[in-house]
Chains A and B, each alone.
Chain A
C-alpha cells in the first residue's frame, strides 16, 4: 500500500477513511509497503495537517506493517524499474516506486490515488482489497 491509505485511515474526513481503516485491521490480508511511506506520512502530518502529534502513531502503523508483510527498501534496482514505469505511464517516480515495490513482491498495490494510480490500472482502491 502507499502512504495515502494509511493517511486516510487516520483521517475521518477522508472519503475513503472507512475502507482504509478496515483494510489496516483486516486479518485476512498481508500488508506491505515501501520505505518511502515513512517520509510521506510524516510529511503530510507535519506540513499539511499541522499535527505533529500524529507522526508517532502514523509511524507506529508503518512499523506494524513492517512486522507483517514488510517495508521494502528503495534499492537501485527497484528505483530503476520505477523510473521505467514513471516514463511509461506518465506518473512520478514516487508513485511508480510503490508500483514497482508491489510488482517486486508479486502483490497488488492499494492506493487512494484515483487519478494517477487507480485510474491507470496500476492500483486498486482499498475497498477492492478487503478480505482478499
Chain B
C-alpha cells in the first residue's frame, strides 16, 4: 500500500480513535455493501416485469447444451 494512502488511513484512524486495521475493515465492508446494493437494485429493475416461459429452467439448460 502506498505510504501516502497509509498516512490517510492512519489519520482517519486517529480521528475516529481506532486502529488502522479497523479503518481498513470498515472501508472494505462499506465498499462490498455498496457493490451488493448496486447489484440488487439493478436486479430489481431487470426483474420488474414477470414473464412466463414454461418453467423447468434447470432441465432446459441441459437440453439446450451443445
Q: Which positions in A face B, CB cutoff 8 Å?
A: 2-5, 7-17, 21, 24-31, 40, 43-44, 47-49, 51, 54, 57, 60-61, 64-65, 67-68, 92, 94, 111-115
Contacts and interface: CB of A to CB of B under 8 A. Distances in A.
B15 interface: no
A12 B52 contact: yes
Nearest to A37: B61
Given A43-B64, A67-B39, A94-B65, A114 B47 contact: no
A114 B58 contact: yes
Given A12-B52, A31-B39, A43-B65, A4 B57 contact: yes
Q: Is the interface of B mostly helix, strand, loop or mixed?
A: helix
Contacts of B63: 48
Interface of B: 32-33, 35-44, 46-47, 50-58, 60-65
B61 A27 contact: no
Contact of B39 (A14, A48, A49, A68): A68
Contact of A111 (B36, B46, B58, B65): B58
Contacts of A7: 57, 60-61
B13 to A, nearest CB: 26
A60 B46 contact: yes
A27 B37 contact: yes
Contacts of A11: 51-55, 57
Contact of B36 (A15, A28, A60): A28
A13 B55 contact: yes
Contacts of A51: 51, 53
Contact of A4 (B33, B36, B50, B58): B58
Given A17-B55, A29-B36, A113-B62, 13 more contacts: A2-B61, A8-B55, A8-B58, A10-B47, A11-B57, A12-B50, A12-B51, A13-B53, A24-B43, A26-B40, A40-B61, A60-B46, A92-B65
